[in-house]
Amino acid sequence: MPMPSRTPSPSGKNPTVERRVFDLLNAEILDLRLEPGAHIVTETVAESLGVSRLPVREALRALAGRGLVEVHPHRGAFIPRLGPEDLDRIVETVEARARLEPWAAELAAGRHRADQLAELDAALALGLEALRNGNRPAANRAHRAFLRLLTLMSGHTTLIETLEPLQYRTMLAFVSVVMTAEPQGWESHRLVRDAVADRDGAAASTAMRRHLDEVLEALRLPGNVVAATVGRGARTGGRKPGGRRLAALRLETGPAAEPSAQ
């Protein structure tokens, strides 16, 4: 399986084995190649990737901190199941983001560097291209890169650490459910980007708040949220992630798959 596209980490250093395991499992989960509800068995993943169990356990703890797996004592790690029946939980997560992300956008407008804005532009371009091509997994990857970059541009460590798990939980939800009538997300992101580029914090905050209010309105629309259709190859059928699929994965050296605040 091809590894996710990579963005250099802020430190410029190659990531640890733990980070590479995290990046790989993160992509597997958010692209729905590992099905919600699947049991991630540490020993199976370690054997398939040719690493020890320690970096796998550490990667799973990091994923749990971001809301992408749930670790149960004596049972192991499982990918949370999110569906239309979890709508209240999804709405609460977006409500929390709606309080914090406008502030992050405001700070990003005043604190961003030119290289960060270039990375944000690249994520935006990838998202718009994926939208035109109807490539939902690619759009999801670009979306999480855009949000992560924008949050990092705020330069506010506590805000970054607080927003990260909220963003990951929303991303997991939006690969598990879809909205029949969707807000114009990428056009809203373009408005946020332009305000950030102009260093107009008030406009960036307003644009982000308006976007998230539109998402909340769409989520609350009766009957608008339905279960996502998962294509062939995206499901594990509840099986352990091992065997032929994970055996084909490789941990490559090189920069991390996503920008990191670490």
| pLDDT band for position 3 (cuts 50, 70, 90) | very low
| pLDDT band for position 10 (cuts 50, 70, 90) | very low
> Residue 193 and residue 115: Cα distance in Å, rounded?
14
Which of 230, 205, 195 lies closest to 105 in space, CA to CA?
205
| Better pLDDT: 200 or 11 | 200
Per-residue pLDDT, 8: 36
- Asked whether the beta carbons of 166 and 97 are under 8 A apart, the reply is yes
> Residue 130 and residue 150: Cα distance in Å, rounded?
19
> Residue 10 and residue 103: Cα distance in Å, rounded?
22
Top mean pLDDT of 139-148, 230-239, 243-252 is at 139-148
Per-residue pLDDT, 251: 53
Name the percent of the chain lying above pLDDT 70. 82
**CATH number of this structure's domain 17-35+39-78+231-247, picked from the four choices 3.30.70.660, 1.10.10.10, 3.90.1170.50, 3.30.1180.10:** 1.10.10.10
- Asked whether the beta carbons of 55 and 17 are under 8 A apart, the reply is yes
pLDDT at 241 over 50: no
Per-residue pLDDT, 250: 52
Per-residue pLDDT, 37: 83
| Better pLDDT: 248 or 70 | 70
Q: What is the average per-residue pLDDT within 127-147?
A: 89
Which of 138, 147, 131 lies closest to 183 in space, CA to CA?
131
Provide CATH 1.20.120.530 ranges for the chain: 84-227
Q: What is residue 7's three-state secondary structure?
A: coil
| Better pLDDT: 163 or 141 | 163
pLDDT (tens digit per residue) in 59-117: 999 999 888 899 988 888 999 888 899 999 999 999 999 999 999 999 999 999 999 99
Cα 258 from chain centroid? 9
Provide CATH 1.10.10.10 ranges for the chain: 17-35+39-78+231-247
Pairing relationship of beta strands 70-72 and 76-78 according to DSSP bridges: antiparallel
Return the CATH superfamily for domain 84-227: GntR ligand-binding domain-like (1.20.120.530)
Q: What are phi and psi of 187, to 5 degrees?
A: -65, -35
| pLDDT band for position 244 (cuts 50, 70, 90) | very low
| pLDDT band for position 230 (cuts 50, 70, 90) | low
Per-residue pLDDT, 136: 79
| Better pLDDT: 22 or 137 | 22
pLDDT (tens digit per residue) in 149-182: 999 999 999 999 999 889 988 888 887 888 999 8
> Residue 56 and residue 71: Cα distance in Å, rounded?
13
Which of 150, 219, 172, 143 lies closest to 67 in space, CA to CA?
172
Specify the long-range contacts of residues 8-14, CB closer than 8 Å, at least 24 apart. Answer: 8/255, 8/256, 9/255, 9/256, 9/259, 9/260, 9/262, 10/152, 10/259, 10/260, 14/253, 14/254, 14/255
